[in-house]
Structure 1
Amino acid sequence: MIFFRAATHSRNLALAAVTSVLLAGCNDSAKQAQAPAAPPPSVTVAKVTSESVRQSAQFVGQIAAVDQVDLVARVSGFLEKKAVPDGSQVKKDALLFTIEKAQYEAELSKAKADLASAKANAGLQSANERRDRDLLDKGHISQANYDATLAQKQQAEASVQAAESSLQQAELNLSYTDISAPFPGQIGKTTYSVGEVVGPSTDPLAKLIRLSPVYVNFSVSESQYLNAVKTHGINPADISPDESPDISLILPNGTPYDEKGKIVYIDNQVDATTGTISFRGQFDNKDIRLLAGTYVTVVLEAPESETALLVPQAAIQRDQQGAFALAISADKKVEQKYVELGQQIETNFVVTKGLKEGDEVIVEGLQKVRPGVEVDPVLASKPAEQS
């Protein structure tokens, strides 16, 4: 009898436990059914705008001197004088170096004496020729004797010409002892010290570079070249300083150079190894800031402004298929739109395909959404950085 009561009590406890679990599950389901749905995520959007812009393209260029020359000694001798310090800016025809002159002054004096002697001998032989010609006419000498006298006269005249050439060479050699600047510019570091022997077979004495104007050399791919012909109105046949479109530079420290330049040369063929065409611009370089060898960014601008669509840089993302933006549809859902981009203008990109004016693109909150998700768009009050 006691056993029966204990078993009944155990069954009652088990039923009570199961009932409690089921009731708890029903309560949780009811609470979940009554909970409100989460609101759509808030994102910041900006509109694609249409603005007037001047298209441009950028290329890597290098500054080059219009004129540069290695100053080489054309005669041998001791370096007697350095007329200007290394690094000096000099004018055209300014004296730079002097080679010892004594040897060449002596050679010049000898050449003058040799010429005087040759002229004296030529005068004597000319007189002999006139005398023998008269004797020949009178029958007092043979033709052979006259011919010998005539040959001596002609030989003496040739000696005069040789002496004159030697004199000219001696004068040239003496002039070569003074080395002057062939154009205005800046002289570099001198290779030799005063007292060392220099000559045509030794290294250059120094390098002289013209500082103003300067060239900027850059290369353009075939496709960029065709775009330049179309967009910038560049025609190699018409290139001249008066007709060329303006080009500008961005210096290595990122600052724009405040002087405009012109395209002065376009190569007449494509480099087969690189697939590029060589361009050359020229700048006056009045402030002497552009030094030969400096790498710069060359900016080629279109001659006129045109209307283009602009999308904020913060809205652009990229994957394996290319650049895209997350746009907002009419029902406030996210759409992934692949785009084709043009040049970057400050914090915007020119978009040539994939978006239209007035489209809203997400610029903040990109990490919270994916295509097809409904969002709460908030129009940006100012350009936003990509989050």
Structure 2
Amino acid sequence: MKNYSILSVTCLIFASLLLVLGCKDDTSGQQNAAGQQLAMSLPVVEIPTKTLTAYVTYPASIEGVVNSEVRAKVAGYITDVLVDEGQKVNRGETLFKLETQSLNQDAAAAAANVNAAEVEVEKLKPLVDKNIISEVQLETAKAQLQQAKSSYNSIVANIDYANIKSPVDGYVGDVRLRKGTLVSPTNQTPLTMVSDISQVYAYFSMNEKDYLNFIQNAEGATISQKIEKMPKVNLLLPNDSLFEEQGTIETINSQVDPNTGSISFRAKFDNPSRLLTNGNSGKIQVPKTFEDAVVVPKESTFERQGTTYVYKLDRENMATAASIVITQEIDNLYVVASGLKKGDRIVAKGVSQLRGATEIQPQEIPFDSIAQPIQKVFR
């Protein structure tokens, strides 16, 4: 029995050694197989040139082309408010009425003075004709009549001023003062604002660097010529939609704002739908066109220590990292200033798998298959 146990243990040890040796042989077989694998297969594209338009955005504030404050010319209590906020009004249309009771009384007294002065003039005329009184007395009476008429006309004008009218065609803004409110010409707050928003101004600013780059690259010899030839601009609304109309840059401030170091621009937009109004905000998109530019997909690049690289292929399909200089980012493309030229081949996808110079098996794919903008499904 003892011999049988020793034999069993010996067999088990021998079997274990065979198993270990067999596993070792299998492992070396995997390594050999791995060493015999072919070069890595990766998609490759040929670099083209394209004409693209990029947009540089600047915050903008919106105002109507005409913004006229409505103020009282005489003091009085508001008796009628004849318009509401947002209402379209015409020039000369009455918006507010003020009480005129005291002015009416003053007008009646002034009219009586006019009548008395006229009676006095008529009474003195025959006396002058008969040389009973001097001509000076008649002229004095006529002067007093003229003074009475002026006083009356002034009061009548003030009565008319109590009917506060719109100075322009446009739309009524806030109406915060209501019936019974005392107003006067000295009020700091206007009764309302009437704005012509059939067209609107968009005000935006550029810093000095952007301004100089923009002006130096614009067509024309003078600032006036450059403004005339500037491209249309877009207005991006706060909800990220584009305004339906394109705008035209009309003016550029000739001075740098000392507080911000920026230069202001004004663009004008038609506003037929009345979508825009005073106080709106948005972003001006100024276009910049790159003609026949060398472009590369972002997905085909990688960054190292602040420098952007691609893997460029030589004739033997050896992929080697090459640095590139980028001038603009447009959608999912980079516009390349240097480092690549039209016709170069680069690794399109999978650049993270490469290290140093690596021979690959290129799979040629169309450039546009990876250069199309990515559609946003969620945000």
Q: Give the secondary-structure state (helix, strand or coil) at the position aligned to 1:255.
A: coil
Q: 2:313 is aligned with what amino acid? A: S
Match of 2:175 in 1: 190
Q: Give the secondary-structure state (helix, strand or coil) at the position aligned to 1:215.
A: strand
Does residue 163 (structure 1) correspond to residue 152 (structure 2)? The answer is: no
1:214-248 deviation digits (Å, cap 9, x = unpaired): 001111222322332343326532377x6553222
Which 5+ residue runs of structure 2 have no aligned equivalent?
A: 1-13, 375-379
Distance 2:292 2:146 in 1: 77
Any conservation in 1 of the 2:197–2:277 contact (CA below 8 Å)?
yes
Q: Structure 2 vs 1, CA of residues 215 and 370 (structure 1 numbering), >3 Å: closer, same or farther?
A: farther
Q: Structure 2 vs 1, CA of residues 123 and 172 (structure 1 numbering), >3 Å: closer, same or farther?
A: same
Does residue 325 (structure 1) correspond to residue 325 (structure 2)? The answer is: no
Match of 2:8 in 1: none
Q: TM-score scaled by structure 1?
A: 0.76
Q: 1:379 is aligned with what amino acid? A: E
Post-superposition offset of 1:371 = 4.2
Does residue 99 (structure 1) correspond to residue 98 (structure 2)? The answer is: yes
Distance 1:239 1:64 in 2: 24
Match of 2:59 in 1: 60
Q: 2:80 is aligned with what amino acid? A: K
**Residue 299 of structure 1: which of 260, 274, 285 is its match?**
285
Q: Structure 2 vs 1, CA of residues 305 and 339 (structure 1 numbering), >3 Å: closer, same or farther?
A: closer
1:72-124 deviation digits (Å, cap 9, x = unpaired): 22222221212123321223322211112333333333333333434554566
Distance 1:243 1:165 in 2: 56
Match of 2:275 in 1: 289
Q: Give the secondary-structure state (helix, strand or coil) at the position aligned to 1:219.
A: strand
Q: Based on CA coordinates, which of the two structures has the bigger radius of gyration?
A: 1
Match of 1:237 in 2: 224
1:50-89 deviation digits (Å, cap 9, x = unpaired): 1233465432222122222332222222212121233212
1:262-319 deviation digits (Å, cap 9, x = unpaired): 11111012223323211000011111122222222222336x8732222223334455
Match of 1:89 in 2: 88
Post-superposition offset of 1:39 = 4.7
Post-superposition offset of 1:42 = 4.1
Distance 1:26 1:245 in 2: 73
Q: Give the secondary-structure state (helix, strand or coil) at the position aligned to 1:210.
A: strand
Any conservation in 1 of the 2:333–2:371 contact (CA below 8 Å)?
no
1:169-221 deviation digits (Å, cap 9, x = unpaired): 21221121112222222213321222333333444322222221100111122
Q: Structure 2 vs 1, CA of residues 335 and 244 (structure 1 numbering), >3 Å: closer, same or farther?
A: closer
Match of 2:370 in 1: 383
Match of 1:143 in 2: none
Any conservation in 2 of the 1:239–1:263 contact (CA below 8 Å)?
no
Q: Give the secondary-structure state (helix, strand or coil) at the position aligned to 1:209.
A: strand
Does residue 46 (structure 1) correspond to residue 45 (structure 2)? The answer is: yes
Q: Give the secondary-structure state (helix, strand or coil) at the position aligned to 1:383.
A: helix
Overall identity of the aligned pairs, in %: 25
Q: Structure 2 vs 1, CA of residues 314 and 291 (structure 1 numbering), >3 Å: closer, same or farther?
A: farther
Distance 1:127 1:343 in 2: 96
Distance 2:329 2:28 in 1: 58
1:351-383 deviation digits (Å, cap 9, x = unpaired): 223321123344432332344344444334412
Match of 1:262 in 2: 248
Q: 2:211 is aligned with what amino acid? A: Y
Q: Give the secondary-structure state (helix, strand or coil) at the position aligned to 2:102.
A: helix
Q: 1:214 is aligned with what amino acid? A: V
Q: 1:364 is aligned with what amino acid? A: K
Q: Give the secondary-structure state (helix, strand or coil) at the position aligned to 2:151.
A: helix
Distance 2:302 2:93 in 1: 60
Q: 1:166 is aligned with what amino acid? A: S
Q: Give the secondary-structure state (helix, strand or coil) at the position aligned to 1:66.
A: strand
Query: Number of residues paired by the alignment?
Result: 358
Match of 1:276 in 2: 262
Q: TM-score scaled by structure 2?
A: 0.77
Q: Structure 2 vs 1, CA of residues 85 and 30 (structure 1 numbering), >3 Å: closer, same or farther?
A: closer
Match of 1:367 in 2: 352
Does residue 113 (structure 1) correspond to residue 112 (structure 2)? The answer is: yes
Distance 2:61 2:287 in 1: 18
Which 5+ residue runs of structure 1 have no aligned equivalent?
A: 1-15, 136-145
